[in-house]
């Protein structure tokens, strides 16, 4: 464990506290380490840090309209990879009806976030009803399938060679944000027992990003019971009660939902907007130079973005300052909105993400210019 070099001072004209009572006519930018968990400095600039005229090169921010992807069929492993690195894969799976086979991801824990649709998930541990807005965390190696009630659109996040757990919640206590008591686990119920049969079943196993098919003359989901402290869990965003402060804009790290060693998943949920006259009322401009940032927009109007709709995703690589769009910034500073209605999933990765091979028309190629204009 390293110890950060201790530096603490004030230079020039600066606010007394971060994110509050900015010097008149300035725009705050935070340069921080370890994705809001480490040391940080707040700069006060005369101009918005995102006020570029041009943005050339591979570091540019990117946006994808994932609703334009074609359905991938019954296998989540056929879903296109949107972004990836050695420690995660982020996919968007559009499908419908019942899966006709089982899948098993032995490369790492798998998170499903159900953007649209619902149905019934069957896995080694039993049966779990799922619906729009649910997270399902599947431990590495779990065999599973879903019988969807119609069409579905699902965000898939893999913790490659790793496991997702809960963040430490410090002085606010274990029940803050969401009480672990709201986490649901699969049940060995009548629906689970009824799906057991002696027909031939295929199980597709992903290991080292290669697929192997196992064929059984019976349904491998044939457990009659289990006991232990490892199981899939379900959490709906409606059960998340975000940390709030009317006098201070809390950083995204306060909204952490699931945590792996090199991947962080946060959930932004509806909440009142800060009401103190001196407090910033939306995410501050920031240079998060240790993590790449991905946001998937589930529903509502994302209060720091313009021209973004549900089903889109943005990608901000580490290395340049980013933050609210101009129109959203002005709306927030006038305190024109008193609360947010957004639901979004943020994925921060400690390692550089690569963009997958996506069909033409999915990427909004003018996204880097959206800080210059409010028209798409």
Which tens digit of pLDDT belongs to each residue from 295-354? 999 999 886 777 889 999 999 999 888 888 887 777 777 777 788 899 999 999 999 999
One domain, residues 107 and 198? yes
Q: Tell me if residue 9 falls in helix, strand or coil.
A: coil
Q: How far is the C-alpha of 374 from the C-alpha of 2, rounded, in Å? A: 43
Is the residue at 3 inside a domain? no
Select which of 249, 255, 298, 316 is catalytic: 249
Q: How far is the C-alpha of 361 from the C-alpha of 64, rounded, in Å? A: 9
Q: Tell me if residue 60 falls in helix, strand or coil.
A: coil
> Which residue range(s) make up the domain with 332?
27-63+241-371
Per-residue pLDDT of 223-236, as tens digits, reads 999 999 999 999 99
One domain, residues 80 and 201? yes
Is the residue at 18 inside a domain? no
Is the residue at 17 inside a domain? no
Is the residue at 20 inside a domain? no
One domain, residues 210 and 300? no
* Number of Cα atoms under 13 Å in the Cβ half of residue 229: 1
Instruction: For residue 7, count CB atoms less than 10 angstroms from its CB and return exposed for 0-12, middle for 13-18, buried for 19 or more.
Output: exposed
- In sign, the C-alpha dihedral spanning 302, 304, 306, 311 is negative
DSSP state of 23: P
Q: Tell me if residue 356 falls in helix, strand or coil.
A: coil
Q: How far is the C-alpha of 19 from the C-alpha of 168, rounded, in Å? A: 24
The dihedrals phi and psi of 192, each to the nearest 5 degrees, come to -70, -45
Is there a binding annotation on residue 322? Answer: yes
Report the CATH number at residue 260.
2.60.120.10
Q: How far is the C-alpha of 262 from the C-alpha of 319, rounded, in Å? A: 17
CB atoms within 10 A of CB 299: 18
One domain, residues 259 and 347? yes
One domain, residues 276 and 338? yes
Bridging pattern class, strands 62-65 and 40-45: unpaired
For 248-273, what is the mean pLDDT? 92
Which of 84-98, 243-257, 329-343 shows the lowest per-residue confidence on average (mean pLDDT)? 329-343
CB 329 within 8 A of CB 315: no
Is the residue at 344 inside a domain? yes
pTM to 2 decimals? 0.92
One domain, residues 73 and 32? no
249 labelled catalytic: yes
Per-residue pLDDT of 66-83, as tens digits, reads 999 999 999 999 999 999
Is there a binding annotation on residue 292? Answer: yes
Q: How far is the C-alpha of 254 from the C-alpha of 257, rounded, in Å? A: 9
Per-residue pLDDT of 264-285, as tens digits, reads 999 999 999 888 888 887 777 8
One domain, residues 95 and 221? yes
Query: How many distinct structural domains can be found in the chain?
Result: 2
Is there a binding annotation on residue 255? Answer: no
Q: How far is the C-alpha of 167 from the C-alpha of 140, rounded, in Å? A: 19
């Amino acid at each position: 464990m390293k110890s950060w070099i201790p530096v603490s001072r004030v230079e020039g004209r600066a606010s007394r506290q971060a994110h509050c009572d900015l010097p008149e006519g300035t725009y705050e930018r935070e340069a921080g380490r370890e994705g809001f968990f480490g040391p940080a400095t707040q700069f006060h600039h005369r101009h918005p840090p995102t006020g570029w005229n041009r943005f050339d090169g591979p570091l540019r921010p990117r946006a994808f309209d994932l609703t334009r992807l074609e359905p991938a069929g019954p296998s989540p492993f056929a879903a296109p990879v949107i972004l990836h690195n050695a420690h995660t894969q982020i996919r968007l799976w559009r499908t419908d009806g019942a899966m006709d086979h089982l899948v098993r991801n032995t490369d790492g824990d798998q998170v499903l976030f159900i953007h649209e649709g619902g149905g019934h998930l069957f896995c080694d541990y039993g049966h779990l009803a799922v619906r729009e807005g649910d997270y399902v965390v599947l431990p590495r190696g779990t065999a599973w399938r879903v019988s969807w009630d119609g069409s579905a659109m699902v965000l898939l996040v893999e913790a490659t060679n790793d496991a997702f757990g809960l963040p430490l919640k410090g002085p606010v206590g274990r029940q803050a944000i969401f009480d672990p008591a709201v986490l649901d686990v699969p049940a060995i119920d009548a629906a689970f027992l009824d799906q057991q049969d002696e027909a031939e079943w295929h199980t597709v196993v992903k290991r080292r990003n290669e697929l192997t098919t196992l064929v059984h003359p019976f349904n491998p989901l044939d457990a009659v019971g289990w006991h232990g402290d490892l199981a899939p869990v379900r959490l709906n965003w409606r059960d998340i009660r975000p940390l709030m402060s009317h006098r201070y804009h809390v950083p995204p790290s306060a909204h952490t939902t699931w945590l792996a060693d090199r991947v962080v998943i946060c959930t932004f949920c509806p909440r009142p907007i800060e009401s103190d006259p001196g407090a910033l009322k939306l995410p501050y401009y920031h240079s998060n130079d240790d993590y790449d940032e991905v946001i998937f927009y589930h529903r509502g109007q994302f209060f720091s973005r313009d021209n973004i709709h549900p089903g889109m995703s943005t990608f901000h690589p580490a290395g340049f300052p980013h933050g609210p769009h101009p129109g959203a910034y002005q709306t927030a500073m006038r305190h024109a909105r008193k609360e947010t209605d957004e639901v979004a999933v943020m994925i921060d990765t400690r390692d550089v993400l690569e963009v997958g091979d996506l069909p033409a028309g999915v990427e909004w190629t003018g996204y880097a210019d959206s800080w210059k204009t409010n028209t798409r």
